[in-house]
Structure 1
């Protein structure tokens, strides 16, 4: 896979998809998934998250060859650590949040952005973890536009929000302290799995 910079647009979550499920595409037909993977990969930016989740489902069925060829033809790689990262979030952080969420509203959210631009030894992709009270699309746009509210590397190498790593957790409350706490928890949950995780961590 070669390094490239994609358009600064924000992919939206897929309506009706259960991002909190272990296999979100388990009820979808294989041929339909193959067709969708081709379409998702040709977007700019490509929707690598959905394409990878669909590929993981086809791999479970041992029907993944054609889908892998679609990635190869477009010189794109699936996200190799996405399945393990999702398992950690759903198995560790979501149960921790269950009791805290009772009676907790607000607009505070954590988020994860897929970041490219790394070397092959880092499996090409890393992740940036942040928190915000603003819409995710607005915060993503700020990261891609650069400036004081961006983060190092994201204006060039930011690709897309990884909804399956944060939608099941949100909202996390409105206070800045709670947002920083959960940003740190998410960062520490993902760091042992994803080769490169950046963002602020409270110690």
Structure 2
């Protein structure tokens, strides 16, 4: 497949509206979540993750980052190419920013019910590294809010019914729960938005002014 055709597929590709759940037992706060995993196991899992609809791009990208550290990334890069998908180029830097700038301030009460979240958004071009991020907040389970975004209803957001892909748990799971008052939710949504904006090519969502 020539490059221009591949780029067209990437820009216009849409996936099923299902919500990928967080990977059971994975420490999303860890700098290298897959550090203790065997390379052969990761290679097998990545092949499966990229064939799902929607694909688990976050997990596959985290695995690629680990294999790159080991200088054993060629097989996984070939799996991305075979699936005609791109890894999330900015994910590692975004995760580091969240850990360093936001995690030290997390002091939510046990009764807190608020959640901030980040959704991977496609529909962009190679100049934007193919993907952007939508930042939001809710008092509902993230999976239900994701379903609303993908439904195209009045509580959706521009571009997400077609181009929403999956929640990026490694960018928000360690921050939750947060206080559920509207002011605190918007404060954390704004802080997360501003943390990601210098790194992610396109960040959308509400911010406090």
User: Structure 2-normalised TM-score?
Assistant: 0.94
Q: Write out the 4+ residue segments of structure 1 that deviate beyond 6 Å after TM superposition.
A: none
- Tell me, yes or no, if the aligned pair for 1:127 and 1:194 is still in contact at 8 Å: yes
CA distance in structure 2 between the aligned counterparts of 1:135 and 1:104, rounded to whole angstroms: 16
Query: Secondary structure of the residue that 1:138 maps to in structure 2?
Result: helix
Match of 1:19 among 28, 37, 55: 28
- Tell me, yes or no, if the aligned pair for 1:112 and 1:166 is still in contact at 8 Å: yes
CA distance in structure 1 between the aligned counterparts of 2:68 and 2:112, rounded to whole angstroms: 39
Match of 1:136 among 142, 153, 172: 142
Greater shift in the superposed pair: 17-26 or 88-97: 88-97
Consecutive unaligned residues of structure 2, counting only runs of 5 or more, are 1-6
CA distance in structure 1 between the aligned counterparts of 2:29 and 2:195, rounded to whole angstroms: 16
1:79 alignment counterpart: 88
CA distance in structure 2 between the aligned counterparts of 1:141 and 1:96, rounded to whole angstroms: 29
TM superposition shift of 1:105: 2.8
RMSD of the TM alignment (CA)? 0.8
CA distance in structure 2 between the aligned counterparts of 1:92 and 1:202, rounded to whole angstroms: 18
CA distance in structure 1 between the aligned counterparts of 2:94 and 2:135, rounded to whole angstroms: 13
CA distance in structure 2 between the aligned counterparts of 1:96 and 1:175, rounded to whole angstroms: 17
Per-residue CA deviations over 1:18-55 (Å, capped at 9, x if unaligned) read 00000000000000000000000000000000000001
User: Structure 1-normalised TM-score?
Assistant: 0.97
CA distance in structure 1 between the aligned counterparts of 2:71 and 2:104, rounded to whole angstroms: 31
1:166 alignment counterpart: 172
CA distance in structure 2 between the aligned counterparts of 1:96 and 1:135, rounded to whole angstroms: 22
Consecutive unaligned residues of structure 1, counting only runs of 5 or more, are none
In the alignment, structure 1 residue 148 sits paired with structure 2 residue 157: no
